[in-house]
Structure 1
Amino acid sequence: MNSSLVVTTGIRSGIALEQQALELSRQLNVPYVRRQKRSLDNIKEMSGAQVILLVKSNKLSLVVDGKELFFHPGLAKLRIKEIQAGKTDQMIKAMGLKVGDSVLDCTLGLAADALVASYVTGPGGMVVGLEDSMPVAEIVRRGLQSYTGEKPELLAAMRRIQVINAHHLGYLRQLPDNSFDVVYFDPMFRQPRHQSSSLAPLRPLANSSPLSQEAVVEAYRVARKRVVMKENRNSEEFSRLNFHTIEGGRYSPVAYGVIYKVVPPQ
C-alpha cells in the first residue's frame, strides 16, 4: 500500500502544517509531496499514488477516487442518542453488552460500531478496534483522539477506543483464551448494499477476503461471553460460519449472528 500512498497538506499550508505532514510521512514510511498550490489530481499524477493522506489544520483525511474520507461520529452519534432515549440498539442487544465489558472489534472501519460499544461499556470498559488498512487506521486513530465539538460523554467514548493496525486473524492467534467479553465482526462492508454509501471510498482499501472459519474459531477461544457477526439478513455466511442464533430487528436488512460461550439466563 505504501507505494500507492503519499502524504501532502491542504492548499493553505504554513510551515507548521508542512512539518506535521513530514513527521507523519516518516512515522508511516510513506513519501511526502509538497503541495505548492498544486491540485490533488496533479499530485496523484506526478506521484503515481492512488491514495492521498491529506494533513489539514483541523483533521487528517484520505482522498480516494476524488472523495475525501475522515473520521466523524456520524450514525454512531444518532444511535447513542437513541440509547439515551431508552431505545434498543440491535448490535448492543446481540452483544449482550454491559457497563465494564470489553470488546474486540475485528473490522473497525470508521469506528461507528466501536464508538457505540465504547459509550455503552463506559469508563470501566475496554474497546479495541483492529483495522487492516494502515491509512484507514491512521485517520481513525487520530480522529478519535482529536475530534471536538461534541458532548463530553461522546468525546470520552472516542478517546477510550484503542486502534490497532492489524489483520484480525494474526492478532487473534496471539491473544490468550478469554481475553475479551465479546469479539465482533462486521464483514458485510465487503458486499455493498448501497453503492452511494458514505463508506464507498473505503472500498478500494478494504480487505475483500471473506471471513474465515479459522478466525471464528479463534474468536470463540478469545471471547469470554460470545462472538457476534453483522451480515445481510439472508446471508449464507451465518450457516457457513456456524452462527446458528440470529438476532436483529424484524424489518432490518441486517442481522447479527451470535455464538454463545456463556449462555445468558432466560
Structure 2
Amino acid sequence: MIITTGDRPLTEVAARAERLAERLGVRYIARGNLSMNKLFSRYGGAEVLVVLLEGVRLLRPDRPQLQFHPSMGFVRAKRVLKGDGDPMLDSAGMAPGDSVLDCTAGLGSDALLFAVRGGERSCVTALESSLPLYALLAEGMANYTSGIEEVDAALRRINVVNSDHQSYLASLPDGSVDIVYFDPMFREPLEDSAAISPLRAYANSASLSQESVLAAVRVARKAVVLKEKRGSGEFSRLGFEEMLRPGAKTSYGVIRIDQRS
C-alpha cells in the first residue's frame, strides 16, 4: 500500500498523509501531476490510500474505490439522537456508558452507532485486521465532517485498532467489556448490498469460529452479538439466539451473559 493526496493538496493535508504513512510504515508519494493510473504503473502497490481535506479514499486498479462515509450508519445515528430505537443497539441491550468491542469494524457504521448511544462516558473499540481498511477507517473517523456535532464527536471517540479479533480478545481480562459485537462477511452474501460488495475485496472473509465466540463470552459482561443473514445457520452453529425482525433481510443473534449457566 502507498499513501498520497489529491491534486494540489493543502500543506496540512500533505503533512497529514506523510504522518499517516510514517505511522503505518508504508510509502508516501507526493501526487504532483500524476494521474492515478500513472501512479499505479510507476510505483506499484496493491492499494493506494488518497488523503483528502475532509475525507479519504482507497483504490485498487481492478476494483471500485472505497471512500469513507458512515453511510446508513449516519441515518441510523440521527434516529438514535432523536431518541428512536435501533435493532442492533436494542438487541445488545446497550445503555449509555457501556463499553463495546466491535470485532469486525469494516467501514465503522456499527461502531458509530455504539458510540452515539454510549455517549461521552462509553468506550468503543473497533478492530480491523486489514491494514488498508484500518487506514481508511482511522483516517476517515479522525477527519470526516458530517455536519452534526454529536456524530462527529462520536466518530472521534472511537478507538480504531489494527488487529485480528482472536489475538485481541485473548489479550483481554475476563469480563472487561460490556458488549462484544461481530459482523463478519456473511456466508451467503446479500448480492444487492451496494455498500458491502466493494468491501469484500479487502475484508477478512473467514467464517467466525466457535473459539472466537467462547473468547467473546469470557470477555463480555452483558452480551455477545452477531449480525448475519436472516435464517443463517451461523446462529445455531455458534450458539446465538436469533432475534427475528419482520421483513428484515438480516438478523441479530445474542448470547446474554447474565443467562449463562
Residue identity opposite 2:18 in structure 1: L
Q: Residue 45 in 1 paired to residue 24 in 2?
A: no
Tell me, in whole angstroms, the C-alpha distance in 2 between the residues paired with 1:27 and 1:190. 34
Residue 129 (structure 2) aligned to one of 110, 127, 132? 132
Deviation at 1:156, TM superposition (A): 1.8
- Confirm whether residue 119 of structure 1 aligns to residue 107 of structure 2: no
Could you state the TM-score of these two structures normalised by the residue count of structure 2?
0.91
Q: Does 1:251 align with 2:240?
A: no
Shift of 1:7: 1.4
Counterpart code for 1:52: V
Specify which of 232, 235, 255 is matched with residue 235 of structure 1.
232
Query: Offset of 1:111 from its aligned partner?
Result: 0.7
Q: 1:182 aligns with which of 179, 182, 201?
A: 179
* Aligned pairs (5 A) from 1:150-165: 150-165=147-162
Please name the residue that 1:94 is paired with. Answer: 91
**Is this contact kept in 2: 1:188–1:230, CA < 8 A?**
no
**2:7 — aligned with what?**
11
Measured after TM superposition, the shift of residue 103 of structure 1 is 0.8
Residues 248, 103 of structure 1: alpha-carbon distance in 2 compared, 3 angstrom cutoff = farther
Residue 145 of structure 2: which of 141, 144, 148 is its match? Answer: 148
With over 3 angstroms needed to count, the CA separation of the structure-2 counterparts of 1:191 and 1:33, relative to structure 1, is farther
SS, match of residue 88 in structure 2 = helix
Match of 2:205?
208
Q: How does 1:51-62 map to 2 (within 5 A)?
A: 51-62=47-58
Structure 2 CA distance, aligned partners of 1:217 and 1:66? 36
SS of 1:77's equivalent in the other structure is: helix
Q: How far did 1:115 drift?
A: 0.6
8 A contact 1:79–1:116 mirrored in 2: yes
Q: Which residue of 1 aligns with 2:19?
A: 23
What are the Cα deviations for residues 215-240 of structure 1, in whole angstroms up to 9, with x where unaligned? 00000000001111000012111111
Aligned length: 259
- What is the CA–CA distance in structure 2 between the aligned matches of 1:132 and 1:72, rounded to whole Å? 19
Structure 1's unaligned 5+ residue stretches are none
| 1:23 positional shift | 3.0
Cα RMSD (Å) of the superposition?
A: 2.1
Matched, 1:226 2:223: yes
Aligned counterpart, 2:191: 194
Write the distance in 2 (CA, Å) between the matches of 1:133 and 1:232. 23
Q: Which amino acid aligns with 2:26?
A: V
Local SS of the residue matching 1:145: helix
TM-score by length of 1: 0.89
* Cα distance in 2 between the residues matched to 1:133 and 1:203: 11
Could you say if the C-alpha distance between residues 139 and 210 of structure 1 is closer, same or farther in structure 2, counting changes exceeding 3 Å?
Answer: same
State the Cα deviation string for residues 185-244 of structure 1 (Å, max 9, x = none). Answer: 00135653135512332222111111111100000000001111000012111111111x
* Residue equivalent to 1:168: 165
What is the percentage of aligned positions where both structures have the same residue? 41
Distance in 2 between residues matched to 1:195 and 1:52, nearest whole Å: 26
